[in-house]
A and B are shown apart, each in its own frame.
Chain A
Amino acid sequence: MVRLPTVLGMRRKIAYPLVALGMTIGSSLAVASPALAHGYVSTPPSRQALCASGAVADCGQIQFEPQSVEAPKGRQSCDGGVSTWSVLSDESRNWPAKSVGTSVNFTWVMTARHRTADWTYYVGGTKVASISGGNAQPDAVVSHTIDLSKFPGKHTVLAVWNIGDTANAFYSCVDLNIGGGSASSSPTTAPTTSAPATTAPTAAPTTSAPGAAPTTTAPPAAAGSAWAAGVSYKTGDVVTYQGVRYQCRQSHSSINSWEPSIYTLALWLPL
């Protein structure tokens, strides 16, 4: 508890990392740099979640920091009026609408737990619900069940996290086909007819393709082929990478930086 501050105290130029990692005393932290912010709707998938999952391609920087749509309170746009995130307001992207019941469970993922004034939900500029945060720190994961029965059909829900101790809010737009699925509000029992998008990074987003394969199934590996990202490797599979053959020792779905190397010996051993 005391060790880290002691270590850090030896240095002069410590303001930035200390603030960013929350090691300072006081609430100045709440205005940390945008790259370190702060929260978004993960389920049903918000537009930034669709960008981060690759379901909607070519979103730009938002795919790397879906939690960063921070702007002054009172905005009514998916990008919060911030030009960096304007892709989120681009209706020509054909954002896939998730089929849901009329009672919808929204889940927020918070990476910085700011004191919260409230979470407010809008449809077409109309306030649908507002849940007080009591100016307290929220948990890392916060869920709200919202009655959307007055808005059947396709709608874009604007979900806003209003911070308690700054002038800012975080914005997430969630495209829904309300009443288009089961009445369940639980994300774990989402209607099986809803498959928001394809996995191919270059594919255009599709809208509610009934019966489409789950997006999480990576293709199986071909024996001895070149290593690639996005492939489902099983223990025992053999790949070639930079002229060397490797055997998989831990099943995984491959991602960038998990290619065979001295850093990934937990996944691959040279043959």
Chain B
Amino acid sequence: MKRRVVLSLLVPLALGACGTAATPAPTATVSANAVAEIQAGSQFNDTDVMFLQMLAYHQKQGLEMTATAASRSKNPQLKTLAEAVQATEKDELSMMQAWLTQWGKPTTADTAASLHADHGGLPATGPAEIKALKTVSAATFDTAFLNLFLAHQHNAIEMAHLETADGSNPEAKAFADRVRESRQGEVQQMLKLMNS
């Protein structure tokens, strides 16, 4: 399983150039190339794969939620947080998908998370709740978003703990550390925003 991907570093990246396309800047091409340069090597185990697949699925949900917040929230601080999360997680998603592709693995866990919804352990945020953010009243939007995204980012931290405990790939584990730290900081900002 691991031997099969020895040549992965030589395979051109299909996804590398997508990372920052939505964030135009004078030197955007430099950025896009650099994100694609973050390599994870060819040694990995199933926890590494599952962590990236689960988080990639999770992060697509997060991008949907933060896009809604960026357009619907009237609170400048909340909007800024949502936009910063968007920008950073888009690049993270590109990176995760590139690693999975190099490893010869599917880039998402599909709806596996929802499949076991009856068994008590599904991620906090489901499609219906994410969709509801688009229609909740303007007056209650900020509170609704903050609480749902709070649960969402707590889940990301929980996934990162799994990778730290059972993953093997050094870059993936270092990424898990960054996920834990950044989401912790976001949780802190969200709790302040909702209780200020």
- From 227 to 271 in chain A, residues with beta carbon under 8 angstroms from any chain B beta carbon are 229, 249-253, 255-258, 262-267, 269
Task: Name which residue of chain A comes closest to B156, CB basis.
Answer: A111
Contacts of B105 in A (CB 8 A): 7
Contacts of B37 in A (CB 8 A): 262
A216 touching B119 in the complex, CB below 8 Å, given contacts A21-B50, A109-B150, A267-B87? no
Contacts of A7 in B (CB 8 A): 46, 49-50, 53, 105-106
Task: Name which residue of chain B comes closest to A7, CB basis.
Answer: B49
**Residues A256 and B84 in contact, CB atoms below 8 Å apart:** no
- From 120 to 167 in chain A, residues with beta carbon under 8 angstroms from any chain B beta carbon are 137, 139-141, 165
B41 proximal to A (CB < 8 A): no
**Residues B193 and A216 in contact, CB atoms below 8 Å apart:** yes
**Residues B122 and A52 in contact, CB atoms below 8 Å apart:** no
A10 touching B46 in the complex, CB below 8 Å, given contacts A249-B25, A262-B38? yes
**Residues B155 and A111 in contact, CB atoms below 8 Å apart:** yes
- Residue from A64, A111, A251 within 8 A of B83 (CB atoms): A251
**Residues A5 and B112 in contact, CB atoms below 8 Å apart:** yes
**Residues A44 and B195 in contact, CB atoms below 8 Å apart:** yes
**Residues B126 and A4 in contact, CB atoms below 8 Å apart:** no
**Residues B165 and A265 in contact, CB atoms below 8 Å apart:** no
- Residue from B81, B148, B178 within 8 A of A140 (CB atoms): B148
Contacts of B158 in A (CB 8 A): 20, 35-36, 111
B129 proximal to A (CB < 8 A): yes
**Residues of chain A at interface, number, CB under 8 A:** 80
- Residue from B84, B175, B192 within 8 A of A55 (CB atoms): B192
Contacts of A27 in B (CB 8 A): 119-120
CB distance from B17 to the nearest CB of A (A): 13
- From 2 to 28 in chain A, residues with beta carbon under 8 angstroms from any chain B beta carbon are 2-5, 7-8, 10-11, 14, 16-17, 19-27
Contacts of B53 in A (CB 8 A): 4, 7
How many pairs of residues, A versus B, come closer than 8 Å at their CB atoms? 238
**Residues B185 and A256 in contact, CB atoms below 8 Å apart:** yes
**Residues B119 and A24 in contact, CB atoms below 8 Å apart:** yes
**Residues A26 and B119 in contact, CB atoms below 8 Å apart:** yes
- Cα A210 to Cα B111 with chains together (Å): 48
**Residues B46 and A269 in contact, CB atoms below 8 Å apart:** no
1/0 contact string of B144-186 vs chain A (CB within 8 Å): 1001101110110111011001100000000101100110111
A64 touching B151 in the complex, CB below 8 Å, given contacts A53-B191, A112-B121? no
**Residues of chain B at interface, number, CB under 8 A:** 84
| Chief secondary structure at chain A's binding surface | loop
- Cα A264 to Cα B19 with chains together (Å): 11
- From 32 to 75 in chain A, residues with beta carbon under 8 angstroms from any chain B beta carbon are 32, 35-36, 42-45, 49, 52-55, 64-65, 67
- Residue from A30, A113, A216, A229 within 8 A of B77 (CB atoms): A216
- Residue from A17, A215, A267 within 8 A of B47 (CB atoms): A17
- From 186 to 210 in chain A, residues with beta carbon under 8 angstroms from any chain B beta carbon are 186-188, 190, 195-196, 199
B8 proximal to A (CB < 8 A): no
A-B residue pairs in contact (CB < 8 Å), sample of 12:
A17-B47, A22-B122, A43-B194, A52-B187, A53-B192, A109-B151, A137-B117, A165-B120, A187-B195, A188-B143, A190-B195, A269-B30
Where the two chains meet, the residues of B that have a C-beta atom closer than 8 Å to any C-beta of A are 1, 19-20, 23, 25, 27, 30-31, 34-35, 37-38, 45-47, 49-50, 53-54, 77, 80-81, 83-84, 87-88, 90-91, 105-106, 109-113, 115-126, 129, 139-140, 142-144, 147-148, 150-152, 154-155, 157-159, 161-162, 165-166, 175, 177-178, 181-182, 184-189, 191-196
Name the 5 nearest CB pairs between A and B, nearest first: A22-B121, A255-B185, A252-B84, A53-B191, A257-B181
